[in-house]
Amino acid sequence: MSSLSFWGAAGTVTGSKYLIESDGARALIDCGLFQGQRELRERNWQEPPFNAAAVGAVIITHAHIDHTGYLPRFVRHGFRGPVFCSRGTADRLKILLPDAARLQEEEADYRNRHKITKHLPALPLYTEADARETLKLISVVPNDGQVVNIAKGITAEFRIAGHILGSSQVLVRTDGQPSRSVLFSGDLGKYDQPIIRDPVAPPACDYLIVESTYGNRLHDPEDPKSALKRIINDAAQRGGPILIPAFAVGRSQEILYLIRELEDQKTIPILPVCLDSPMAAAATVAYAKRTEEQDEDYASVLARPQHPLRTHKMIACSSREESKRLSEVKGARVIISASGMMTGGRVLHHALRLVPDPNTTLLFVGYQAAGTTGRRILDGQQEVKIMGQWVPVRCRIERIGSFSAHADWREILQWLKGIPTAPRQTFLTHGEPAAAEAMAAHIRETFAWPTTVPIYGQRIELK
**Rounded Cα distance, 169 and 294, in Å:** 16
With contacts defined by CB under 5 A, name the span among 1-9, 99-107, 187-195, 420-428 that binds Zn ion: 187-195
Which residues make Cβ contacts (< 8 Å) with residue 83, sequence separation at least 6? 31, 57, 58, 59, 60, 71, 134, 137, 138, 139
Stretch that binds Zn ion, among 4-12, 183-191, 209-217, 247-255 (CB under 5 A): 183-191
Cα end-to-end span (Å), the chain: 7
- By beta-carbon proximity to Zn ion, the closer residue of 64 and 219 is 64
Query: Measured between alpha carbons, how far is residue 292 from residues 35, 67, 86, 218, 418 in Å?
Result: 31, 21, 10, 28, 21
Q: Examine residue 254 and tell whether it contacts Zn ion (CB under 5 A).
A: no
Q: How many residues of this chain bind Zn ion (CB under 5 A)?
A: 2
Q: Of the two residues 66 and 276, which places its CB atom closer to Zn ion in the complex?
A: 66
Of 1, 42, 2, 15, nearest to 457 by C-alpha is 15
Question: Minimal distance in Å, beta carbon 166 to Zn ion?
Answer: 11
CA pair distance 271, 314, nearest whole angstrom:
8
Stretch that binds Zn ion, among 59-67, 152-160, 258-266, 316-324 (CB under 5 A): 59-67
Q: With respect to Zn ion, which residue has the nearer C-beta, 64 or 94?
A: 64
How far apart (Å, rounded) are the C-alpha atoms in residues 184 and 198? 17
Nearest-10 crossing angle of helices 409-416, 433-447 = 40
CB of 43 to Zn ion, least distance (A): 19
The least distance separating Zn ion from the CB of residue 163, rounded to whole angstroms, comes to: 6
For Zn ion, give the closer residue by CB, 154 or 160: 160
Q: Which is nearer to Zn ion, 64 or 376 (CB)?
A: 64
Q: Quick one: 185 or 451, whose CB is closer to Zn ion?
A: 185
Does residue number 187 form part of the binding site for Zn ion (CB under 5 A)? yes
Report the alpha-carbon angle 12-381-230, nearest 5. 90
Strands (E), 130-270: 138-140, 144-151, 154-160, 168-174, 180-184, 207-211, 241-245
Q: Using CB under 5 A, which of 17, 26, 43, 64 touches Zn ion?
A: 64
Nearer to Zn ion, 99 or 187 (CB): 187
Angstrom distances, CA of residue 456 to CA of 10, 43, 68, 215: 5, 11, 18, 19
- Does residue 211 interact with Zn ion by CB under 5 A? no
Smallest distance from the beta carbon of 102 to Zn ion, in angstroms?
21
**CA atoms lying within 13 Å on the CB side of residue 330:** 0
Residue span binding Zn ion (CB under 5 A) among the ranges 60-68, 124-132, 136-144, 300-308: 60-68
Q: 159 and 183 in contact (C-beta within 8 Å)? A: no
C-beta of 63 vs 235, nearer to Zn ion:
63
Q: Which stretch binds Zn ion (CB under 5 A): 78-86, 180-188, 262-270, 292-300?
A: 180-188
Binding window for Zn ion (CB under 5 A); candidates: 101-109, 186-194, 222-230, 395-403 = 186-194
Binders of Zn ion in range 17-46 (CB under 5 A): none
Least distance to Zn ion, CB of residue 285, Å: 21
CB closer to Zn ion out of 186 and 423:
186
Q: How far is the CB of 63 from Zn ion (least distance, A)?
A: 8
> 30 or 206, CB closer to Zn ion?
30
**Alpha carbons 383 and 120: distance in angstroms, whole number:** 27
Query: Which of these segments, 9-17, 64-72, 306-314, 351-359, binds Zn ion (CB under 5 A)?
Result: 64-72
Give CA–CA dist 200/238, Å, rounded: 44
Which of 320, 399, 392, 328 lies closest to 361 in space, CA to CA?
399
The DSSP secondary structure of 320-347, one letter per residue, reads HHHHHHHTT--SSEEEEES-TTSSSSTH
Query: Which stretches of the chain bind Zn ion, using CB under 5 A?
Result: 64, 187
